Chains A and B, each alone.
Chain A
Amino acid sequence: MSKRAKKQKALIFVIVLILALIFVYPLFLIVMNSVKPLAQILTKPLSFPDVIQAENYVKAFKEVNVLHVMKNTAVLTIGSVAGITLLAAMTAYWTFRYQTKYSKVFETFVILSMLIPFASLMLPLVQVMKVLGLNNSMFGTILTYWGIGLAFAFFMMQSAVKGLPVELEESARIDGCSRTRIFFSIIIPLLKPTMVSVVLMDMFWIWNDFMVPLIMMNNERLMTIQLSISRLFGQYASKWDIALPALVMTMLPIVIVFILLQKKIMDGVIAGAVKG
């Protein structure tokens, strides 16, 4: 490499580094201020903390009830994602392999549902859930995610299903394997890579989603992370010594998961964008 090219590369590196530092600075400010006493947060938000005030975190931990809301969010996310992935794999496989008049109708409806934003469904959905006795319940909310999450997952699965070797299934049929067993013991393992990307993408969506829980289960017992943060800010406007540690604690788990799984997640994003 020529001297000039090396110089150029060093210059680009420095530019990117500076941009990256500016980019994460807001998050850095949040973390830094989360350990200061309130007075210092308000008067000197840019300076380093003189003392580390760990009680901020203790207070915020109690106020937000971190363990409780994380458990709720985890149950909601796992239940929803597991259902979406399984339903999408089953329906995408079946509508492709065993086409009937109904399967065509089903496919069309799933595709059309992608056009409907949740805001257009949310109002009557609450009423439908009331009639079914599922409003303000974890299961009702999970059911909602199954419904609105199916279309995208179905699309991802569809392109994976198209590449399945039919010969494998044929010989399994000849050996007397039932269709259900073929699906669960042959097809599912083959679809695993796509299922993993669906899981990763929907996991972040549901963990972070605010709108659906706000409408479907806005009560103390079922509080999710998003709901409790929203309530905290409603009650303690500018009580930053509680609000900032609460924000840090709620961001931490997803940031860790993201850093650990970054390669898979970004591959999933690209696959989802190109196929979806």
Chain B
Amino acid sequence: MNRKKSFNRPALWEHLLFLGPASIIFLIVIIIPFVISIGYSFTDWNGVSSHVSFIGIRNFIDIFTGKSNFLSAFKFTFIIAICNVICMNIAGIAMAALLTTKIPFQSAFRVVFYLPNIIGGLILGFVWQFIFINGVPAIGKLLNFGPLMTPWLGTELTAYAAIVIVSVWQGMGYVMVIMIAALTGISSELVEAAKIDGANAFQIFFKIKLPLCMPYITLCLFWTISQAFKMFDLNYSLTKGGPYGSTVSLALNIYNDAFANNKYGLATAESFVFFVIILVITSVQMYFSRKKEEELM
């Protein structure tokens, strides 16, 4: 089809009307800040004073030699990402499998398990602060079970666990909804054929259904990874980075360095490295989703 022939060319003002406002907004909100940010990453600016001096790549050296908190934030974020990806996807897929067995009140259950996903991370962090500080020890006392009575947000290991528990509780519903869509999309003929061949429910699920859902599973994997790497709200409200800065995520670390520690130059350098990390994850994702598109269509 030759579109150009049937439509004579629009006038300049029409181009401006449709693309102009978005272009200007884009320039102000994304492009200019991004360029400035790279510029500041080579300085020692503290964010307030008028004194800014060029210090080359010293900020980046500080980041990679562990002089800034970036590496420990990276370690935290990385561990959380791995735990989250595994737990969230297993829980979500298992829930989807249970909910596609034609049990009654299926859609009501779907609503319940998706519910935390629509409440913001900040509010949920505070909700769980109460649960971990007051609720869990009370349950521990009731069951006379020691490990539950410890201050969960007070030690490093349990604070990690707390963050994973809350993130999985919040994000599992997303995986579940996607996987329910994937599982119900599988043709029943295939499943029937497998049944006739004598396959049991487990074999059908693991050997037939899951492989067919692979494109959706990849999609959920990357969603959970990038959610974990961009974590900020939940981290800010649940542990505030404590105990002793052991649970500071990458985004929270950038925020702290810029606004609490007055290391603006360093923070912009950290935010650039953060950008590169997300870039790598998203590029791998785009590579896979291009494949996925071919499979889904």
B-contacting residues of A (Cβ < 8 Å)? 9, 12-13, 15-16, 19-20, 23-24, 26-27, 29-30, 33, 41-42, 44-46, 87, 90-91, 93-95, 97-98, 100, 102-103, 106, 109-110, 113-117, 119-125, 127-128, 132, 143-144, 146-148, 150, 166, 169-170, 173, 179-180, 183, 204, 207-211, 226, 229-230, 233, 238, 240, 243-244, 247, 250-251, 254-255, 258-259, 262, 265-266, 269-270, 273-274
Contact = CB atoms under 8 A, between A and B. Distances in A.
A146 B9 CA distance: 28
B1 interface: yes
A233 B119 contact: no
B18 A144 contact: no
B282 A250 contact: no
Interface stretch (B63-71, B78-86, B130-138, B188-196): B130-138
A243 B102 CA distance: 40
A124 B119 contact: no
Most chain A beta-carbon contacts within 10 A, residue among B30, B131, B169: B30
A83 to B, nearest CB: 8
Interface string B46-64: 0100000000000000000
B278 interface: yes
A18 to B, nearest CB: 11
Contact of B3 (A24, A97, A102, A179): A97
Contacts of B29: 121, 125, 128, 143-144, 146-148
Contact of B134 (A42, A204, A258): A42
B161 interface: no
Given A23-B113, A147-B26, A270 B123 contact: no
B98 A240 contact: no
How many B residues are at the interface, by size bracket? 35 or more
Q: Name the prevailing secondary structure of the A interface residues.
A: helix
Contact of B120 (A24, A147, A210): A210
Interface stretch (B152-160, B206-214, B249-257): B249-257
Contact of A115 (B102, B177, B268, B282): B282
Interface string B92-135: 00010011011110010111111100111111001111110111
B33 A124 contact: yes
Contacts of B109: 16, 20
Nearest to B35: A124
Given A90-B18, A170-B6, A273-B223, A123 B268 contact: yes
A119 B251 contact: yes
Contact of A266 (B1, B30, B114): B114
A274 B185 CA distance: 13
A262 B173 CA distance: 13
B233 to A, nearest CB: 5
B122 A117 contact: no
Contacts of A12: 98, 101, 103
B32 interface: yes
A274 B296 contact: yes
15 contacts: A13-B103, A16-B98, A20-B113, A26-B128, A33-B134, A46-B142, A113-B26, A119-B250, A119-B271, A120-B37, A123-B47, A124-B34, A128-B36, A173-B7, A254-B119
Given A113-B30, A230-B122, 15 more contacts: A109-B31, A119-B251, A120-B34, A120-B271, A124-B40, A128-B32, A147-B29, A166-B6, A207-B120, A210-B232, A226-B123, A255-B118, A258-B115, A259-B111, A270-B178
